[in-house]
Amino acid sequence: MKVQTAKDVINNKTRTGLKLLAEYKHDPTYLTTAWFVDFSNHFFDIITSRNYKMALSKYNTDVYLSTLDHIRKFEHIIHNMSVGKGAWKPCKTGIRILCSSVVNLQEYYLNKVGYSFLLLGRFTQDSVENLFSCIRLAQPLPNIIAFKQNFKVITISKNGFIIYDMVGAVLRSVKKSYKSCETCINSVLWHENKSHPFNLVVQLKNYTPGALVEVSHDCFKAIMKCEITFRKIRFVLLNAKNIDIVQCFTEGMLYIWEGNNIPDCHKITRKILYRFIRMRSRLYGLKQRENIAALFSKQSKLTSKSIAMRESIKNKEIKRSSFISQ
Ligand SMILES: [Zn+2]
């Protein structure tokens, strides 16, 4: 549902306009609509309250009772009003469920659990809508496979903000180190007016406006696929011998760019991928070295790096199995 469109109509300005029209045209029938707009607007404010001022609380009994009364009246009006030709509309059921749920929830939290106030806006499905919005950003009408794939990308993306920042850093290094053209660079940059959903870290780090780059969603999505694979095989990569793992992994992961309209004149996708894998492998290697050093300092019985590594894996396996068994 497009809430903003409804909010654009059901608000105080519309109510004032209708009242003015009633005065101007000497027609009191406008006042009925003005009253309904006002009543619905106040209901919306109560249901989506996210601040203490509008919260449901027993601190002021009169306000508390009148708020509950407002919710019940709204339910009554929706139940009895006719929409269009008078047939029952699904939205009426939805609003009635909402009203009765809110009344029961506040009864439970304020009277039984003992909360001092309740922010009803916390019960909205905004977080689910945010998730769908992220999935639709990648593909407006995804099929089942695309949905599953994008969902996977998003669920591991509590680290997405960091990966997005890393891809930006990689692109800057590619720009500095290799020859490329404007078309290539522009094809992997973010051009929308609104910010990318994962640009939080970039924003926080951006002391000088425009110094850090924001990459396109296609570029970010491709690198996230690479990140998922890297996580699965990173231990194998770390132990590989006599091969250039960055080069090999890059060759194997080139398919992530399939279907993107990024020009091939300067092979920018390959360069970004190569630099990202190199950066990622270095970071992982450093982390592993730190872990081994920590193990050495703790356990003097570990006399070699390979024994330390084996112990490290054993510890990880124990931690993982105890986590699963919990
Ligand atoms: Zn080019």
* Domain stops at, among 141, 158, 175: 158
Question: Is residue 184 included in any domain, yes or no?
Answer: yes
The pTM score is 0.49
Q: How far is the CA of 187 from the centre of ligand 1 (A)?
A: 9
- Is residue 105 domain-shared with residue 222, that is, in the same domain? no
Distance of CA 67 to the CA centre of its chain: 32
For residue 25, the model assigns a pLDDT of: 92
> 278, 173 in Cβ contact below 8 A?
no
Indicate if the pLDDT at residue 320 is higher than 60. Answer: no
Output phi, psi for 324, to 5 deg.
-65, -40
- Residues 47-72 have a mean pLDDT of 90
| Same-domain pairing of 10 and 103 | yes
Please tell me whether residues 167 and 216 are part of one structural domain. yes
Mean pLDDT of 208-237: 87
Q: How far apart are CA 168 and CA 57, in angstroms?
A: 46
Question: How do residues 3-22 score in pLDDT, each as one tens digit?
Answer: 778 888 999 999 999 999 99
pLDDT at 304 over 70: no
pLDDT cut 70: percent of the chain above it = 87
**Same structural domain, 187 and 269:** yes
The pLDDT of residue 326 is above 90: no
309 domain-assigned: no
* Mean pLDDT score, 136-161: 73
- What's the CA-to-centroid distance between 177 and ligand 1, angstroms? 14
pLDDT of residue 240: 85
Q: Enter the DSSP assignment of 48.
A: T
Query: Do both 174 and 211 map to the same domain?
Result: yes
- What's the mean pLDDT in 60-81? 93
Residue 270: which pLDDT band, with cuts at 50, 70 and 90? very high
Instruction: Give pLDDT, residue 315.
Output: 61
The reported pLDDT for the residue numbered 99 is: 94
- Please tell me whether residues 264 and 275 are part of one structural domain: yes
Task: Tell whether 182 and 286 lie within a shared domain.
Answer: yes
CA of 276 to the centre of ligand 1 (A): 19
Which helix (DSSP H) or strand (DSSP E) does residue 297 occupy? helix 268-298
Does 222 share its domain with 99?
A: no
| Same domain (yes/no): 172, 253 | yes
Query: How many angstroms from the chain centroid is the CA of residue 257?
Result: 23
Residue 252 CA to ligand 1 centre (angstroms): 23
Contact 295, 308 (CB under 8 A): yes
Classify residue 318: in a domain, yes or no. no
Confidence at residue 20, expressed as pLDDT on a 0 to 100 scale: 93
Residue 60 structural domain: 3-123
Same domain (yes/no): 100, 140: no
Cα 176 to ligand 1 centroid, rounded to whole Å: 14
Neighbours of 242 (CB within 10 A): 4
Domain match, 293 and 187 both: yes
Those residues whose beta carbon sits under 5 angstroms from the ion ligand 1 are 181, 184, 265-266
Quote the CA–CA distance of 75 and 23 in Å, as a whole number: 30
Distance from the alpha carbon of residue 164 to the mean position of ligand 1, in angstroms: 22
Please name the residue ranges forming H helices in 107-244: 126-138, 144-155, 160-177, 182-187, 200-205, 217-239
Residue 213 and residue 234 share a domain: yes
Report if residue 284 sits inside a domain: yes
- Neighbour tally for 141: CB within 10 Å: 7
Q: How far is the CA of 293 from the centre of ligand 1 (A)?
A: 44
Assigned domain for 260 exists: yes
CA separation for the pair 104, 246 (Å, rounded): 58
Which of 70, 104, 123 is the endpoint of a domain? 123
- Cα 18 to averaged position of ligand 1 atoms, centre (Å): 58
More confident residue, 325 or 94: 94
Return the sign of the alpha-carbon dihedral for residues 118, 123, 124, 130: positive
Using DSSP, state whether 82 is helix, strand or coil.
coil
- pLDDT score of 162 more than 70: yes
Residue 272 has pLDDT above 90, yes or no: yes
Q: Contact, 134 vs 154, CB < 8 A?
A: yes
- Whether the predicted pLDDT of 64 surpasses 80: yes
User: Does residue 310 lie in a domain region?
Assistant: no
Ligand 1 center from residue 215 Cα (angstroms): 16
321 in any annotated domain = no
pLDDT of residue 317: 52
The number of folded domains in the chain is 3
In a domain, 319, yes or no: no
Q: Is the pLDDT of residue 321 over 50?
A: no
Over residues 20-33, the pLDDT tens digits come to 999 999 999 999 99
Query: Does residue 30 or residue 288 have the better pLDDT?
Result: 30
Mean pLDDT, all residues of the chain: 84
